Amino acid sequence: MRTKNLRKYGNRPFSIAVIHGGPGAAGEMAPVARKLAIGHGVLEPLQTASSVGEQIEELRKTLVKSARLPVTLVGFSWGAWLSFIFAATYPGLVKKLILVSSGGYEAKYGRKTLAARMSRLSAKQKVKIKSLVKVLGGREVKDKEVIFAKLGALFTRVDTYDPLPEGRDKVLLDPDIFQSVWKDAEELRRSGKLLELGKHISCPVVAIHGDYDPHPAEGVQKPLLRVLKKFRFVLLPNCGHKPWIEKEAKDRFFAVLKEELC
């Protein structure tokens, strides 16, 4: 069931919320939501705000209105950071935090992510990405969503280990949200404020990460071990950035989620 900017799966009470990445890739967590809805009520909020602070407040309003609180947040990629910030800002609203394929929590790991991706690209793909980024950064850009989708498709190829064909779920791409929110997010990481927020998180935190994810696992595990009180890290072998589409990791990924949601 879908209302404006919110999809609901399973039956009440809605005790789990899956938080998509991007920023600006609303709907990509639908396959995970459907799987978790076998036995649970699951919310899939679609983030529409154009700053980190506004997305936090948008998420709060959605959860207060529709979730059974405190809620378990399952955040993917950018959604892992958003969930992390949310749990630090509103600790009383979060029961457990599950970070899936999170970006690194210190600036040096962002540079390692870019280096890993570039090392997996062919010379032709590098030229193509450089061209698309240049066009996307122009003042007057036509078909911005199409260009953004092409960039995403190129990076997805190098982010995966051995992927299954993806389903037909439509992901609502918004490059304006991406550019605006990511600028805020990068500054939070660069300044050290992102990691510092972890000291305000009181709930248990579990990070699930693929060993082939270009976002280095050490960039999640090492920093979070320093700031979180209750932290567990699970490394999935032969797994890229999206565990639920990986042939060798999909079953293990959902088994870990099931264990953490019991």
Average pLDDT value for the chain: 93
| Alpha-carbon gap, residue 39 to 47, rounded angstroms | 25
Tens-place pLDDT, residues 146-205: 888 888 888 888 899 999 987 778 888 888 899 899 999 999 999 999 999 999 999 999
Beta-carbon contacts of residue 193 (< 8 Å; ≥ 6 apart): none
Over the Cα atoms of the chain, what is R_g?
17
- Topology of domain 2-109+160-261, CATH: Rossmann fold (3.40.50)
Tens-place pLDDT, residues 59-103: 999 999 999 999 999 999 999 999 999 999 999 999 999 999 999
Closest CA to 180 of 63, 2, 12, 51: 51
Per-residue CA distances from 148 to 120, 138, 153, 154 (Å): 20, 13, 9, 10
**Whole-prediction pTM value?**
0.93
